[in-house]
Amino acid sequence: MAFEFKLPDIGEGVVEGEIVKWKVKEGETIKLDQPMVEVMTDKATVEIPAPRGGKVAKIMVAEGKICLVGQVMIVIDDGGPAAAKSSGNGASKSAPPPVPPPRAVAAPPSAVSLESGAGGRALATPATRRLAREMGVDISSVRPTGKHGRVTSDDVRSHQTHGRPAAAAGVAPMAIASTGADERVPFRGLRKAIAANMSRSKQTAAHFTYVEEVDMTELVALRTRAKEKAAQRGVKLSYLPFLIKAAVHGLKKWPSINASLDEVAQEVVYKKHYHLGIATQGPQGLAVGVVREADRRSIFDLGREIERIAEAIRVGKATREELTGSTFTISSLGQLGGVLATPIINFPESAIMGVHKIAERPAVRDGQIVIRHLMNLSISVDHRIADGYDGAMFLQEVKAYLEDPTLMFMEMV
């Protein structure tokens, strides 16, 4: 019989998701628990497996479109009878098999809930409101088509497309002409979510950047000595655990760097935990893996956790817990780190630290030119929350611990 599969509740507060990619086609025969579709919400991109085997009769929501929780996504013909026989009380004799749980893929962190204010305020999710702000659309003027008079993301796009962007946007959307040799790829899924998150950060946080040169010579030597011991414990020891340790010291001394601005309550929230985000390049784009309670972990434990989360992102198996809730982010391209970058703050955090390439360069020590392992660190800070002095002093604290790494272990962070 035809089985109508509806988008399940895939996370607390999630009311809709964008269809990123169908992994099955109409007319195709699929098996139970076979990867079926990738759906992106504001919390994660999840891979939903097939709830039963059969033939794909109809895909109801196309790629790039929004699907509401409870809306039919796909119809599967499982070859059973047209309808189950009912018992005397009207109940079906057999229940359908349980829907396999969705598997997280990767997505930038954010929260979602259904917002409706007093005084006739439009009913919409925060994701839809954010989209409206980014597109310059006055959401109160959008005609809703969603359930219970709810404004959907498609409503906002349709409104904007018909030439009614709000003046506050400042810049109208621009169409790009193509030549015959150009390739066009739909702008959706994780790439679009990253764009929205970065745009929101640039539009809200007042970025400023401070840069410092760090002499990593002592730390390079320490890591070289520790690599063998780490390998014996199954740990691939990079510089990131030491950078995290140094950053935690700085965050504890300069709490405005480990904070967020609650724009609704008009309060600065100083975080009392240290969940450090590590920006990692995954198969679908940049994701931020979160090392929780970084202040309570040893160097080897940090190395093990960093590698575990990075691998989960690379293979598309990271969970929401591993991708959300960071309080401060470190962005590093490792050996490709370059000389300098000005990273964009991972909203709603107050700062992000950029780590650049360690290279042998000449330096002056005691009046002599010597070769040292030097590296640049940059920090982008939200000037609404922290002053330039705070950002500079935080980075000076990090510099002190990296240049004399024995300090990290003396204070037992």
58 vs 263: CA distance, rounded Å: 44
Distance of CA 363 to the CA centre of its chain: 39
Residue 356 is a catalytic residue: no
Whether cis (ω within 30° of 0) applies to the bond prior to 255 is no
- Report the DSSP pairing between strands 35-40 and 29-30: unpaired
Tokens 């360690």, residue?
358
257 neighbors 394 (Cβ within 8 angstroms): yes
Q: What six digits make up the tokens of 191?
A: 């790439």
Residue 140 to residue 151: CA distance in whole angstroms: 9
Among the listed residues 148, 273, 275, 383, the single catalytic one is 383
**SS3 category, 285:** strand
The residues near 285 (Cβ < 8 Å, ≥ 6 apart) are: 106, 190, 191, 194
Question: Which H or E run includes 29?
Answer: strand 29-30
Distances from the Cα of 164 to the Cα of 9, 123, 155, 190, angstroms? 34, 19, 12, 27
- The two three-digit tokens of residue 221, written as one number: 């030597």
Q: Which of 36, 60, 32 is nearest to 48 (CA)?
A: 36
d(CA 89, CA 91): 6
Residues near 12 by beta carbon (within 8 Å), at least 6 away in sequence: none
Question: What is the rounded distance in angstroms from the CA atom of residue 75 to the CA atom of residue 323?
Answer: 32
**So which residues are the catalytic ones?**
383
